[in-house]
Structure formats: C-alpha cells, structure tokens
Structure 1
Amino acid sequence: MTTLFDVPAEDLNEALAERLADEDAVAAPDWARFVKTGTGRELPPEQEDFWQRRAASLLRKVAVDGPVGVGTLRGEYGDSSKGSTRYKVRPKRSTKGSGNIIRTALQQLEEAGYIETAQGEGRRVTGDGRSLLDETAGDVLEELDRPELERYA
C-alpha cells in the first residue's frame, strides 16, 4: 500500500490541492487576496490556487509532524533563510508566517473532517485525512514515471 511518504512532497501537494479544489473542501476567504503570507513579505501571493496549495501542504505537514500547533506551523511557513538584506547594515532576520492564513485553512480542513483538534497538543490528522493522503499518493505514484520510484509500484 502506498503512503504519503512514498512520493515526493511537491507532487503530492499539487495533486492534493487539485483534489481539495474539486471537492470544494477548502475555499479561499474574501480577504485572502489582499493579505501577505508573513511579515517578511511585501506582496500577497499571485497564484490563483494559493489557498488550496497551502491547505494541501498544511494537511501533509500535520500528517507528518502531528500533533502540531499553529505557532510551530508559523515557523515552518515563515521566511528563515532569506530575509531582507537590510542594506548590509545589520544581519538578516527570520520572520514567521501568517497565523491567520494557517489557522483559517486548518479550520476549513477540520470542517471537512480531515483534521481534528488534540486538546493541549495541537492538531492531528483523522482517519479520513490519512486515507485521502494515501489515496492521492497512490494516484501520484501511478502517474509518475521515474526509475527511482519503480520499487514502490
């Protein structure tokens, strides 16, 4: 049986975002096109399907690392390596990602039944969420035609 660990994360997130968009499980709020993804950014994202991609990435991240809270996810989706150059006067700083984007996407995934709240621990994936991830990983593995992944087929 194929699991989410058997396929590349980028391919899984892309397929999962398409699946979430088809199911209408998550939808971008009206304010999403105006907000930045963190304090270290200057502009909002330009991708049309940004919200579905972020929700898919969050679902995978919670499945791999869970139970995990919003604060930890803010650090994961923040800007730690780049930062601004600050005109070469001071060193670069890491910044955290937007908590409102992460929290709202997690709440939508909770309403869809893919994530549940673990009291005092954060959020973790439900059985439905795990099966969605594994089914999508199986579909992705069938589509991939890479020699290094043939051993999983």
Structure 2
Amino acid sequence: MRLVEPLQLIRTTARYLKENKIVSMPKWVPFVKTGVSKDRPPSDPDWWYVRCAAILRKLYIHDKGLGVSRLRRMYGGRHRMGHRNPHFAPGSGSVIRKALQQLEGAGLVEKSKKGRVLTKKGRQLLEEISESILKRQAGKT
C-alpha cells in the first residue's frame, strides 16, 4: 500500500467508491465549502468521493485511530482575512463527520476508543486496490 503513489491510490479508490455505490453524495454537497478558510466550493464534481477515499487512506496510515478533530486539522488551511494576519482554520467538521458515517455504514470504518479505525474489510479493499495499481504499473514497464 505504501509503495503506491498517494494521489493515484486516492483517485482509484474514489472511482471504486462511486462506481460500486459504497458511498452516496448528500444533497447539500454542491453548495458547501470544505472549510472556513475556503472561498468557494470545490470545482471537482466528484470531490465527495475523493474526500472519502482520502479519509480511508489516512485511517490506513494512522492505524491507531483518528477522530473528527484530528481530521479537521489535517484538512484545514490558511484562513486569509483581508488586511489582518492569516491564521490556521480547521476543515469542515460536518463534511468529515458525514463521510465517516457513510463509511461506517458501508462497513469500512468502525468506532474505537481513540476515534475511527479501518475494519478488516476496509484494509482489504485498500490493499486490493493498491495491488491492482502496482500490477498495472508493472505491466507498463
């Protein structure tokens, strides 16, 4: 899993989540920003699936568990406020929370004492996708 380029893994996982209807895009997704520090909603129409895939990857890497507050810090950014000094602002908690709830419903994530962790099914899914990417790369060379 760690041998695969992160962006490629996230995009492939997002495509898999969308095609197999593992997660569904809520009605409010086209209108929401991903954090206070952002000026506009994302321009990618499939950003919800990309965010869900990125959360899965982060949960795989941080195998002890991650909570919503830690994920908000990871997806936060620089909040520019005109003439005032910019400060850090966390990402949208609602977006992360709803994504985690959908992934829990699909059986890929579960709650633990230290936040959310990947289930065996979630780990298996990411490892299968990364193996298929590695096989494709080996076939090209």
TM bucket (normalised to shorter chain) is over 0.9
SS of equivalent to 1:47 = coil
The equivalent of 2:117 in structure 1 is 124
One-letter amino acid of the structure 1 residue matched with residue 15 of structure 2: E
* Counterpart-to-counterpart distance in 2, 1:146 and 1:68: 36
Give 1:47's match in structure 2, choosing from 26, 44, 47. Answer: 44
Give 1:84's match in structure 2, choosing from 77, 80, 83. Answer: 80
The equivalent of 2:96 in structure 1 is 102
Please list every run of 5 or more consecutive structure 2 residues that lacks an aligned counterpart in the other structure. none
In 1, are the aligned partners of 2:33 and 2:42 still within 8 Å (CA)?
yes
One-letter amino acid of the structure 2 residue matched with residue 14 of structure 1: R
TM-score by length of 2: 0.92
* Counterpart-to-counterpart distance in 1, 2:119 and 2:131: 18
One-letter amino acid of the structure 1 residue matched with residue 108 of structure 2: Y
In 1, are the aligned partners of 2:30 and 2:45 still within 8 Å (CA)?
no
The equivalent of 1:138 in structure 2 is 131
TM-score by length of 1: 0.85
Give 1:26's match in structure 2, choosing from 23, 28, 35. Answer: 23
Shift of 1:139: 1.1
Shift of 1:146: 10
Q: Percent identity?
A: 36
* Counterpart-to-counterpart distance in 2, 1:145 and 1:8: 14
- Number of corresponding residues: 140
Root-mean-square deviation (Å) = 1.8
The alignment status of 1:13 with 2:10, answered yes or no, reads yes
Structure whose CA Rg is larger? 1
The equivalent of 1:64 in structure 2 is 61
Q: Give structure 1 regions of 4+ aligned residues with deviation exceeding 6 angstroms.
A: none
Distance 1:25 1:85, change over 3 A: same
Please list every run of 5 or more consecutive structure 1 residues that lacks an aligned counterpart in the other structure. none
One-letter amino acid of the structure 2 residue matched with residue 55 of structure 1: C
In 1, are the aligned partners of 2:71 and 2:96 still within 8 Å (CA)?
yes
Shift of 1:92: 1.9
